[in-house]
Amino acid sequence: MVQGVGFRPFIYRVAVKNGLTGFVQNRPEGVVAEVEGPSAFVDAFGADIRLELPPLACITNIECTDLEIRHDQNFQIIPSDAKGHADVHITPDSATCPDCLQELFDPTNRRFRYPFINCTNCGPRLTIINAIPYDRANTSMACFPLCRECLVEYENPADRRFHAEPNACPVCGPQLTLLNAEGKPVETADPVKTAIDLLSSGHVLAVKGLGGFHLSVDAGSSEAVKILRTRKYREEKPLAIMVRTIDQAMQIACVSPEEETLLTSPQRPIVLLKKIQSGLISDSVAPHVPNLGIMLPYAPLHHLLLDDRFTALVMTSANQIDEPICTGNREAIDRLQGIADYYLTHNRDILVRCDDSIAFVADRKPRLMRRSRGYIPQPLHLKETYPPVLALGGQLKTTHCILKGRFAFVSPHIGDMETPQARDFFHESLALMKRITESDPQIIACDLHPAYYSTQAAQELPTERIIQVQHHHAHIVSCMVDNQIGGDVIGLAMDGTGYGTDGNAWGGEFLIANETGFQRFGHLQYLVLPGGEKAIREPRRIAASLLRTVYGASWQELAHKLNLIPDQVQVELFEKIIDGKIHSPMSSGLGRLFDGVAALIGLRLSVSFEGQAAMELEALAAGSTAPPYPFDILRNDDNPYIVDTTAMIRAILADLQAGQSKTIIAASFHQTIIDVFAVMAGEIRKATGLNRVALSGGCFQNKILLEGAINKLRHSGFDVYSHSQVPSNDGGISLGQAVIAASMIKKGM
Q: Under the rule (CB under 5 A), what is the footprint of Fe ion?
A: 495, 498, 730
- Distance CA(391)–CA(455), nearest Å, equals 10
**Of residues 498 and 596, the one with the C-beta less far from Fe ion:** 498
Q: Residue 191 CB, nearest distance to Zn ion (Å)?
A: 19
Q: Residue 331 CB, nearest distance to Fe ion (Å)?
A: 31
**Of residues 71 and 148, the one with the C-beta less far from Zn ion:** 148
- Distance CA(206)–CA(340), nearest Å, equals 6
**Of residues 98 and 566, the one with the C-beta less far from Zn ion:** 98
**Of residues 498 and 508, the one with the C-beta less far from Fe ion:** 498
Which one of Fe ion, Zn ion, none is in contact with 479 (Cβ closer than 5 to 8 A by kind)?
A: none
Instruction: Check: CB of residue 511 under 8 Å from CB of residue 523.
Output: no
Contact flag: residue 150 with Zn ion (CB under 5 A): yes
Q: Residue 302 CB, nearest distance to Zn ion (Å)?
A: 14
Nearest to 314 by CA among 288, 287, 336, 294: 294
Q: Residue 475 CB, nearest distance to Fe ion (Å)?
A: 6
Which one of Fe ion, Zn ion, none is in contact with 538 (Cβ closer than 5 to 8 A by kind)?
A: none
Dihedral of the alpha carbons of 510, 516, 440, 138, in degrees to the nearest 10: 50
**Of residues 153 and 356, the one with the C-beta less far from Zn ion:** 153
Contact flag: residue 122 with Zn ion (CB under 5 A): yes
User: What are the respective helix, strand and coil percentages of the chain, to the nearest 5?
Assistant: 35, 20, 45
Q: Residue 150 CB, nearest distance to Zn ion (Å)?
A: 3
Q: Which amino acid is at 522?
A: G
Residue count of the chain: 749
Q: How many CB atoms lie within 10 A of CB 580?
A: 10
Give me the residue whose beta carbon is nearest to Fe ion.
495
**Which residues, 206 to 245, sit near Zn ion by CB under 5 A?**
none
- Enumerate residues 6+ apart whose C-beta is below 8 A from 38: none
Q: Residue 299 CB, nearest distance to Zn ion (Å)?
A: 11
Q: Residue 608 CB, nearest distance to Zn ion (Å)?
A: 41
Name the segment binding Zn ion (CB under 5 A); options: 37-45, 118-126, 414-422, 660-668.
Answer: 118-126
User: Residue 89 gets which letter from DSSP?
Assistant: P
Contact flag: residue 119 with Zn ion (CB under 5 A): yes
Contact flag: residue 101 with Zn ion (CB under 5 A): no
Q: Residue 727 CB, nearest distance to Fe ion (Å)?
A: 10
Q: Give the residue, chosen from 14, 90, 97, 306, that forms a contact with Zn ion under the rule CB under 5 A.
A: 97
Alpha-carbon distances, residue 139 vs 75, 118, 208, 639, 666 (angstroms): 30, 15, 17, 57, 52
**Of residues 101 and 181, the one with the C-beta less far from Zn ion:** 101
- Enumerate residues 6+ apart whose C-beta is below 8 A from 552: none
**Of residues 133 and 589, the one with the C-beta less far from Fe ion:** 589
**Of residues 374 and 498, the one with the C-beta less far from Fe ion:** 498
- Distance CA(65)–CA(70), nearest Å, equals 15
Which one of Fe ion, Zn ion, none is in contact with 495 (Cβ closer than 5 to 8 A by kind)?
A: Fe ion
Three-state SS string over 209-240 comes to CCCCEEEEEECCCHHHHHHHHHHHCCCCCCCC
**Of residues 128 and 469, the one with the C-beta less far from Zn ion:** 128
Name the segment binding Zn ion (CB under 5 A); options: 122-130, 576-584, 592-600, 688-696.
Answer: 122-130
Contact flag: residue 171 with Zn ion (CB under 5 A): yes
Which one of Zn ion, Fe ion, none is in contact with 633 (Cβ closer than 5 to 8 A by kind)?
A: none
**Of residues 2 and 614, the one with the C-beta less far from Zn ion:** 2
Pairing type for strands 313-317 and 213-218 reads antiparallel
**Of residues 410 and 665, the one with the C-beta less far from Fe ion:** 410
Q: Give the residue, chosen from 3, 121, 267, 454, that forms a contact with Zn ion under the rule CB under 5 A.
A: 121
Q: Give the residue, chosen from 58, 132, 172, 276, that forms a contact with Zn ion under the rule CB under 5 A.
A: 172
- Distance CA(476)–CA(141), nearest Å, equals 41
Q: Residue 462 CB, nearest distance to Fe ion (Å)?
A: 28
> Total binding residues for Zn ion by CB under 5 A?
10
**Of residues 212 and 591, the one with the C-beta less far from Fe ion:** 591
Contact flag: residue 100 with Zn ion (CB under 5 A): yes
- Distance CA(607)–CA(710), nearest Å, equals 29
Q: Give the residue, chosen from 147, 192, 280, 448, that forms a contact with Zn ion under the rule CB under 5 A.
A: 147
**Of residues 323 and 730, the one with the C-beta less far from Fe ion:** 730
**Of residues 498 and 611, the one with the C-beta less far from Fe ion:** 498
468 burial (CB, 10 Å; 0-12 / 13-18 / 19+) is middle
Q: Residue 374 CB, nearest distance to Fe ion (Å)?
A: 24
**Of residues 149 and 572, the one with the C-beta less far from Zn ion:** 149
Alpha-carbon distances, residue 315 vs 116, 178, 218, 319, 329 (angstroms): 19, 17, 9, 12, 18
Radius of gyration, CA atoms only, the chain? 27
Pairing type for strands 176-180 and 342-346 reads antiparallel
Q: Residue 493 CB, nearest distance to Fe ion (Å)?
A: 7
Contacts made by residues 253-260, CB under 8 angstroms, sequence distance 24+: 253/291, 253/292, 253/294, 256/361, 256/364, 258/361, 258/364, 258/365, 258/366, 259/361
Instruction: Check: CB of residue 389 under 8 Å from CB of residue 741.
Output: yes
Which one of Fe ion, Zn ion, none is in contact with 730 (Cβ closer than 5 to 8 A by kind)?
A: Fe ion
Between the two ends of the chain, the Cα-to-Cα distance in Å is 34
Q: Residue 543 CB, nearest distance to Fe ion (Å)?
A: 22
Name the segment binding Zn ion (CB under 5 A); options: 171-179, 210-218, 468-476, 495-503.
Answer: 171-179
Q: Residue 541 CB, nearest distance to Fe ion (Å)?
A: 21
Nearest to 388 by CA among 28, 747, 29, 741: 741
Which one of Fe ion, Zn ion, none is in contact with 119 (Cβ closer than 5 to 8 A by kind)?
A: Zn ion
Contact flag: residue 91 with Zn ion (CB under 5 A): no
Alpha-carbon distances, residue 540 vs 23, 415, 653 (angstroms): 69, 27, 15
Which one of Fe ion, Zn ion, none is in contact with 292 (Cβ closer than 5 to 8 A by kind)?
A: none
- For residues 319-344, one letter each, b for 16 or more C-beta atoms within 10 angstroms of the residue's C-beta and e for the rest, the string is bbeebbbbbbbeebbebbeebbbbbb
Q: Residue 81 CB, nearest distance to Zn ion (Å)?
A: 28
- Distance CA(7)–CA(53), nearest Å, equals 8
Which one of Fe ion, Zn ion, none is in contact with 227 (Cβ closer than 5 to 8 A by kind)?
A: none
Q: Give the residue, chosen from 77, 88, 141, 169, that forms a contact with Zn ion under the rule CB under 5 A.
A: 169
Which one of Fe ion, Zn ion, none is in contact with 100 (Cβ closer than 5 to 8 A by kind)?
A: Zn ion
Q: Examine residue 28 and say whether the peptide bond preceding it is cis (omega within 30 degrees of 0).
A: no
Q: Residue 267 CB, nearest distance to Fe ion (Å)?
A: 24
Which one of Zn ion, Fe ion, none is in contact with 215 (Cβ closer than 5 to 8 A by kind)?
A: none
Name the segment binding Zn ion (CB under 5 A); options: 93-101, 209-217, 408-416, 652-660.
Answer: 93-101
Instruction: Check: CB of residue 382 under 8 Å from CB of residue 412.
Output: no
Residues that bind Zn ion (CB under 5 A): 97, 100, 119, 121-122, 147, 150, 169, 171-172
